[in-house]
Amino acid sequence: MPSFSPSYKPFGKSAILIEWPPEMNDNILKDILSFQQKIKDNNIEGIIETIQSIHSLTVVYESNNISYHFLKQQLKNIYDEDTDKQPSVNYLWKIPVCYDYKFGLDLKEISIGKRLPVEKIIELHTRAIYLVYSIGFLPGFLYLGGLDERLYFDRKSAPRLKIPKGAVAIGGMQTGIYPNESPGGWQIIGNTPVSFFNKTKVVPCFAKPGDKIQFIRIPFEKYKQIQLEILSKRYTLKKEVVDD
């Protein structure tokens, strides 16, 4: 049986917001993902979309087809259902990152601010295994949990107007990858040649919530080589099945 009691509230006239305690917690994540799957499997008429977030699920529905109270009760019943379904297979993705200064524009600033040698920053950043909590904000942006506390570092007070695609960065208590060139205030420590959003694919993101990410340090020559392999479609990202 599920072990949480999420709260329900209206989010405008055609959405229900279901909330778990406000924290990045892997048990909460598992509960949200299994609930989202159960909702999909139940195929309720009138549901347009379920949007998953770090500690919430938003169910968007056709308000002329189904009422808030009726849908809320249906969802509560579904939440309480036992499921014998196997949870989906999760992967640990090994993401090559070049931490050279040409990419890691803010490594020195973090090093001074945190009184940590740059080598130590890279070691801490590559040693951790990060859990994908959600995809959101920008197309293909992963919310990752698991950044080493010693690397928590405030965002820039004035955001950069252009951060390159693939930039690996730290913002407060989080680390992340910019899936496309965009403005942004996070501190940049490296760059990956891997694309986190591929608009030509039906499923545009290879990673999904519940998957894990580890960053693998690569030299610039290797970065260039992977870039070429990606261009000629000869590159395969390394992954392992996660069992837990």
Partner 1 sequence: MIKILKEGLHTSIQDLGRIGYRNYGIPVSGAMDIEAAKLSNLILGNEETDAVMEITLLGPKLQFYNDTQIAISGADFSPAKNGFPVEMNTCIEIQKDDIIEFGSRKYGVRTYLAILGGFRTEQMFGSRSFYVGITKKEKISSGDELLFKTKKTSGFAAEVQLNFNNSYFKKQTLMVDKGPEFDLLNDGQKQRLFAEVFTLGMNNRMAYQLKENLPNDLNPIISSTVLPGTVQLTPSGKLIILMRDCPTTGGYPRVLQLTEPSINRLAQKMQHEKVKFTF
Pick from 95, 131, 205, 213: which binds partner 1 (CB under 8 A)? 205
Amino acid letter, 108:
K
Determine which residue in the list 1, 3, 23, 43 makes contact with partner 1, applying CB under 8 A.
23
183 touching partner 1, by CB under 8 A = no
Looking at beta carbons only, is 24 or 92 nearer to partner 1? 24
Q: In which order are the strands placed within the sheet that holds 90-97?
A: 142-145, 130-135, 212-217, 90-97, 238-242
Among 6, 32, 55, 71, binds partner 1 (CB under 8 A): 55
- Rounded Cα–Cα distance for residues 123 and 120 (Å): 5
Among 22, 113, 159, 219, binds partner 1 (CB under 8 A): 22
Could you say whether residue 134 binds partner 1 (CB under 8 A)? yes
Q: Between 154 and 240, whose beta carbon lies closer to partner 1? A: 154
Binding-site string for partner 1 from residue 69 to residue 98, where x marks contact by CB under 8 A and - marks none:
------------------------------
Nearest distance from C-beta of residue 3 to partner 1, angstroms: 20
The binder of partner 1 chosen from 4, 11, 152, 235 (CB under 8 A):
11
SS (H, E, C) the chain: CCCCCCEEEECCCCEEEEECCCCCCHHHHHHHHHHHHHHHHHCCCCEEEEEEECCEEEEEECCCCCCHHHHHHHHHHHHHCCCCCCCCCEEEEEEEEECCCCCCCCHHHHHHHHCCCHHHHHHHHHHCCEEEEEECCCCCCEEEECCCHHHCECCCCCCEEEECCCEEEEEECEEEECCCCEEECCEEEEECCCCCCCCCCCCCCCCCCCCEEEEEECCHHHHHHHHHHHHCCCCCCEEEEECC
Q: Kindly determine how many residues on this chain lie close enough to bind partner 1 according to the rule CB under 8 A.
A: 39
Stretch that binds partner 1, among 77-85, 114-122, 199-207, 232-240 (CB under 8 A): 199-207
Stretch that binds partner 1, among 76-84, 86-94, 137-145, 151-159 (CB under 8 A): 137-145
Nearest distance in Å: CB 205, partner 1: 5
Shortest distance in whole angstroms from residue 182 CB to partner 1 = 8
| Interface ranges with partner 1 (CB under 8 A) | 9-15, 17, 19, 22-24, 48-56, 58, 60, 134-141, 143, 179-180, 197, 199, 203-205
